[in-house]
Structure 1
Amino acid sequence: MPCLNEALTLPDCLREARETIERLGVRGEILIADNGSTDGSQDIAEAAGARVVPVAQRGYGHALNAGIHAAKGRYIFMADADGSYDFRECGPLLETLRAGADIAMGNRFAGGIHPGAMPWKNRYIGNPVLSFLGRLFFKIPTRDFHCGLRGGSKRALTGLDLRTGGMEFASEMVIKASLSGLKMAESPVSLRPDGRDRPPHLRPWRDGWRHLRFMLLFNPRWLFMLPGLALLLGGFIGFAVLLRGPLEIGSITLDVHTLLYAAAAILCGFQAVAFAALSKVFVHEAGLAPKTSRMNKNPPFAGLTIERSIVVAVVLAALGLGLSFEAVHRWKQAAFGNLSPSEILRWAVPAVTCLVLSMQLTLAGFFVDMMRLRLRR
């Protein structure tokens, strides 16, 4: 149990956990991963026969991770120490692990949510949306992505090499388990209102965003790659059509103003694709990718090096400068006087686009190289 000043609810949680061990007839221990309690929670736990593991780094993920590595059992079950989960419901979860599952997840929507136990925005927006995205992005079979009552074999949990220290730890566990090919199963559990006399540590909007951000980091194609490729395609189509001259569609004429927006689409699209590549490289280099996943075995964008980026950037810069010189040459032919915007912008817009792309590609190459070099050290 991760614990931070839970003296009010901890005794009942300890009692339920002890009853569970005795009823199931297993050899087990109760471990409290204490995150710096100042209300005497440590003394309460030790008096009840629990083992207290102090965790200096604050955070839900840091506490759980420390507890997982300190645990001595073959199977590990975890839940908050606020009384919202009933440890006596661990029996079915243990059976799924004994039957061959690596990770056992509770499902609060199947087991029942007591009145007042979950805010409406979590129940009808946050959890359903994030669980749906987890199934969509990572093929995770569970219907309750963030249930706090869960378990797994110690071998599986420690093998995931979990890194995050906040609430996104819950997402990291199931995402890495799915990417690693671990078998996951779920069983119904209930959710009760917590017994605290203070606001919970959870902040629905902030922590929901942290979970979503973490999911997108692991699967950037939905946030960056696909939108970026769509923008690039649209921008290049606009260039191909409008560089030759205005396009008339009925009573509407598309001219250099539309060409300018096409250039913006190319630049934004390239930036989004670059962010997708940077996200993949970061996940790999930071050790967030599961050790057994394809991403870890085959480093993403291994061909994206600073040297190759510079070569392509030089070609783009040369093309941009060439187009710029042609635009200046045409201006010179007009004695540096007034020019038709429709004519000159067909040279200036692609010239500027190439020059900006050259700079973006150079910076992306340097940033990738910096991440790899810094993390190797």
Structure 2
Amino acid sequence: MEDDAVDTGVSVNSNGGETVAATEVATEISPEEVCVLIPTLNEAATIADVIEGFYDQGYTNVVVVDGDSSDGTREIAREHGAEVVVQSGDGKGQAVREALEYITVPYVVMLDGDGTYDPADADTMLEPLARGYEHVIGNRFADMDDDAMRALNGVGNRLINRAFGFVHGANYEDILSGYRAFTVDSFRRLSLDSDGFTIETELAVECVKHGVETTVVPISYSARPDESETNLHPVKDGGTILLALYSLAKINNPLFYFGSLGMAGIVSGGFIAVYVLWEWLRYQQGHEIMALVSAAAILLGVQLLMFGVLSDMLVTLHREQRRRLERIARNERDE
């Protein structure tokens, strides 16, 4: 790898999504250091063009991890020179985790095999890694074909991105993008459990949680070819992703997670208390059971709110300690 010019970029840090200037000595990443990872499930109509597209860009280390396709995807991939791994489980998330066990090079470019992402954007995705970033997200909204995404999907994507920014405190612009580039070392620091389409969401949350230097670059996004069928169910998968965002806040933003539950308990208990008081003042009719339920809901809400505050303090202390240890480790490596 040869030294190049000093460059300046902007990354999103792990504390509230603030941007910080990052100046690194840029180095050139050779294609031999990169593995192109393509999770597939019944992508026979497009997988050949995707593989050949990366060959044209000089990237010949292509790994297709297949979820037991029934349309000949694996055979086509092998015919075009890709290494094919049949995943042992189900879902895109499990496929990605399993595939990383076979990768020995330091960098990975990951994308879907449906022909919507352009292999020509690979250099754009890798360039920030050469400047010291650890995870790169391709922003599909920067250059999207008019018919590449249905209106419902577009609204859902923007809603999810805003929810992510509000809950997890970072603006990654397009957290559901399937076009990623990352270092293998940074990936192995993440704690990933997702099996399905929520893998991109979990990757974004884990990058914030572990302070992985992440940046976003513009890419092109094309419409899926007519002969290729989508495996995505917008309403069902969108709801699953939103639920995952909220669930993952439990360990990444406990104040929001437990605080929201606590406020729900306090507000619901308050409404019941107001109803009980109104009934007593107007009709002199008591509702002892409802009064007990109201008190219990308010008490539980206050306890959850306090637990959220304490948990947030612990998470903050843990992050500070982790940063100190990372600084010490970097200093030791520099020495």
C-alpha separation between the residues in 1 aligned to 2:227 and 2:247? Answer: 36
C-alpha separation between the residues in 2 aligned to 1:295 and 1:61? Answer: 29
Match of 1:114 among 138, 142, 145: 145
Cα offset, 1:103, TM superposition: 0.7
The alpha-carbon distance between structure 1 residues 47 and 123, as it changes in their structure 2 partners (threshold 3 A), is: same
User: Rg: which structure is higher?
Assistant: 1
The alpha-carbon distance between structure 1 residues 242 and 180, as it changes in their structure 2 partners (threshold 3 A), is: same
Mapped contact 1:140–1:174 kept (Cα < 8 A): no
What are the within-5 Å matches in structure 2 for residues 89-100 of structure 1? 89-100=121-132
SS at match of 1:160: coil
C-alpha separation between the residues in 2 aligned to 1:277 and 1:33? Answer: 45
TM-score normalized by the length of structure 1: 0.63
SS at match of 2:215: strand
Match of 1:232 among 230, 252, 266: 266
Cα offset, 1:5, TM superposition: 1.9
The alpha-carbon distance between structure 1 residues 163 and 277, as it changes in their structure 2 partners (threshold 3 A), is: farther
Cα offset, 1:136, TM superposition: 1.3
Q: Please tell me the residue identity of whatever aligns with 2:231.
A: H
| Pair 1:7 & 2:48 matched | no
C-alpha separation between the residues in 2 aligned to 1:199 and 1:270? Answer: 51
SS at match of 1:70: coil
Percent of pairs with identical residues: 24
Q: Which runs of 5+ in 1 are unaligned?
A: 23-27, 280-289, 298-377
Match of 1:264 in 2: 293
Cα offset, 1:267, TM superposition: 4.1
- Which sits farther off after the overlay, 197-206 or 142-151? 197-206
Match of 1:203 in 2: 233
Cα offset, 1:263, TM superposition: 3.8
Cα offset, 1:66, TM superposition: 1.8
C-alpha separation between the residues in 2 aligned to 1:58 and 1:232? Answer: 41
Mapped contact 2:280–2:286 kept (Cα < 8 A): no
Match of 1:212 in 2: 242
Q: Please tell me the residue identity of whatever aligns with 1:264.
A: V
SS at match of 2:236: helix
SS at match of 1:97: helix
Mapped contact 1:224–1:273 kept (Cα < 8 A): no
The alpha-carbon distance between structure 1 residues 7 and 293, as it changes in their structure 2 partners (threshold 3 A), is: farther
C-alpha separation between the residues in 2 aligned to 1:273 and 1:15? Answer: 59
What are the within-5 Å matches in structure 2 for residues 256-335 of structure 1? 256-257=286-287, 261-268=290-297, 294=319
Residue by residue over 1:290-324, the C-alpha shift from the partner in whole angstroms, topping out at 9 and shown as x without a partner, is 9x965999xxxxxxxxxxxxxxxxxxxxxxxxxxx
Match of 1:148 among 162, 172, 178: 178
C-alpha separation between the residues in 2 aligned to 1:206 and 1:68? Answer: 28
Cα offset, 1:226, TM superposition: 2.6
C-alpha separation between the residues in 2 aligned to 1:167 and 1:272? Answer: 33
| Pair 1:132 & 2:162 matched | yes
C-alpha separation between the residues in 2 aligned to 1:293 and 1:84? Answer: 40
Q: Please tell me the residue identity of whatever aligns with 2:161.
A: S
C-alpha separation between the residues in 2 aligned to 1:29 and 1:278? Answer: 49
Residue by residue over 1:148-194, the C-alpha shift from the partner in whole angstroms, topping out at 9 and shown as x without a partner, is 11111011112213221111111111101101011110101121111
The alpha-carbon distance between structure 1 residues 71 and 229, as it changes in their structure 2 partners (threshold 3 A), is: same
Match of 1:43 among 57, 69, 75: 75
C-alpha separation between the residues in 2 aligned to 1:117 and 1:17? Answer: 21
C-alpha separation between the residues in 2 aligned to 1:161 and 1:44? Answer: 33
Q: Which runs of 5+ in 2 are unaligned?
A: 1-37, 309-314, 323-335
